[in-house]
Structure 1
């Protein structure tokens, strides 16, 4: 099923939940991936997504995994797709291959610079911007096209305002939904959505959440993507950094609270960055489904951000 259709159906009140995986580099890693998929499948995700390797290095593997997820696991799957190391004809050929495989959903991305390069430069005969890729897919193929967005502003953007202008151009070009970069401060997300709506971006914006499971790993990832930490979270992690089990337990607790707040205040769903692991994501999603924080009438959580009633 197309993800834009899933989101339309979810507007009746039930959020959608999705998991992101990456193509493993080794047979052992591939075995771990499919083990995680088997465990997470029991949670009934609305869709899963599979990333591209750096420089488009796992293009074929991404398509193989997405196809297997659909056929063997019975889950809807989305392929990430970038402009890196590909001419426009190459892009068209890969998109045709995806379409032939029965894939319905594509996340259109510019991609990171190829390995060994510090700055992005387009491939000769290729595309320079993700907006151009969105346009190409929307114009020539029948996919539900998603795009990425950055609550804390893309690292290459000259300003938050310019980043939003570019995001609107992607939505206008045919992106039917947006998935955010990971973040840990919900205030950043709520502010970003408000600014996006003011800018005329009206497509669903799905928050991307990465459970904290390893202190050093999450510090490295956030440094790479520019995500910031609330001060109180830094303090809690510092207090546990020498106890991996305590870090992981705190990570699950924090992600449950983070997701509950997002869902209580209108997020259409949650996209979990799983790092090809299942325990944390299983615990978080199970807790959310028991709690149902999006059901404001039952929980009252949604009242927190509503403005006070005017005085009589």
Structure 2
């Protein structure tokens, strides 16, 4: 079984403590030599400036290939493309193009009157610039705003046709969920790489809340196993075993890339990656 290519997702800090945690996370995971790292955009575009600062700092100080999240939320087309232009000028060559979540206080996404109406519109505009490799989101289980998985697959096909070069999935708990989705994508004519998104579970209660918000099914057996492990003081050990086994099954099924949602908590992600045979390398940090 070949060693996988890996990537990590970070989110931008909004407090001083969170800032320290981000840089500790980057320092812990950069030696794993990821193919790329991504930096998220807060709900409703609330971390636009912070995301830009984190993206440029990580790229400059650690030499990592950084993909910046960019959404359609609460901005005009001109404003969004200006942000993209600023990324290109800073040397960023990858964007994760997303519709984005509803602004705070809203129940569903509504496009800005002068903004991009959907992720497909955003992808088409970014593709026309020729500046970026464009990654997009994919949903192995139905998106909360979607009728079913087939509708999600067909929407993904539109995103690929618009110029996306690869997709990163929402997290899931069972490898078969990903394989069914991958097969359905192939049946619908999607040839772009689909990278499974992996959530190392640092808090089972937190993971369940996250799953509930994004439509991810929680297997009853897994809930029981985590509950038992927590009662016995073995939750971290079980989380490591579960995540490693999930990754092993994906690799056995032909997956070559894994994208880890770190939640800016690097310990478990690092241990899983090491269990998969990837050892840290010494890198030199650029110090101002």
TM-score bucket (shorter structure): over 0.9
**Selected match of 2:96 from 107, 113, 118:** 107
The reply to whether residue 257 of structure 1 matches residue 245 of structure 2 is yes
Q: Could you tell me which residue of structure 2 aligns to residue 214 of structure 1?
A: 203
TM-aligned CA deviation for residue 232 of structure 1: 2.2
Residue 178 of structure 1: SS of its match in structure 2? strand
Partner Cα separation in structure 2 for residue 27 and residue 78 of structure 1: 23
Please state whether the residue corresponding to 2:276 is helix, strand or coil.
helix
Taking structure 1 as the reference length, what is the TM-score of the superposition? Answer: 0.86
Bigger Rg, which one: 1
- Show the counterpart of 1:75: 64
Please say if residues 185 and 229 of structure 1, whose CA atoms lie closer than 8 Å, have aligned partners that are also in contact. Answer: no
Q: 1 CA distance for matches of 2:256 and 2:275?
A: 18
Q: How does 1:191-270 map to 2 (within 5 A)?
A: 191-242=180-231, 246-270=234-258
**Residue 286 of structure 2: aligned partner:** none
1:43 paired residue number: 32
1:127-166 to structure 2, matched below 5 A, reads 127-166=116-155
Query: TM-score under structure 2 normalisation?
Result: 0.93
Deviates more, 1:233-242 or 1:201-210: 233-242
CA contact (8 A) 1:207 1:270 kept: yes
Q: Distance in 2 between matches of 1:186 and 1:115?
A: 33
Kindly indicate whether the alpha-carbon contact (under 8 Å) linking 1:88 and 1:127 is maintained by their aligned counterparts in 2: yes
Bigger RCO of structures 1 and 2 (CA < 8 A, at least 6 apart): 2
Post-superposition Cα deviations, 1:82-110, rounded to whole Å, max 9, x if no partner, equal: 00011111111111111111100000000
Find the counterpart in structure 2 of residue 60 from structure 1: 49
**Following TM superposition, by how much is the alpha carbon of 1:280 offset from its aligned partner in structure 2, in angstroms?**
0.2
Tell me the secondary structure at the aligned position of residue 260 of structure 2. Answer: strand
The Cα of 1:44 is off from its aligned counterpart by 1.5
1:179 aligns with 2:158: no
CA drift of 1:268 comes to 2.5
- Stretches of 4+ moved more than 4 A in 1? none
- 2:83 corresponding residue in structure 1: 94
The Cα shift of 1:290 comes to: 6.1
CA contact (8 A) 1:151 1:181 kept: yes
Aligned residues: 278
3-state DSSP of counterpart to 2:64:
coil
1:33 is aligned to 2:28: no
Aligned to 1:19: 8
The residue number in structure 2 matching 1:9 is none
SS at match of 1:124: coil
Q: 1:89 to 1:212 in 2, by over 3 A?
A: same
Give the C-alpha shift of residue 14 in structure 1.
5.2
C-alpha distance in structure 1 between counterparts of 2:234 and 2:208, whole Å: 16
Q: Note the C-alpha offset of 1:15.
A: 2.8
- In the TM superposition, residue 26 of structure 1 has moved relative to its aligned partner by 0.4
Aligned equivalents of 1:176, 1:201: Cα separation in 2: 11
Tell me if structure 2 keeps the 8 A contact 1:40–1:278: yes
Alpha-carbon separation, structure 1, partners of 2:188 and 2:88: 33
Return 5+ residue gaps in structure 1 as ranges.
1-12, 292-312
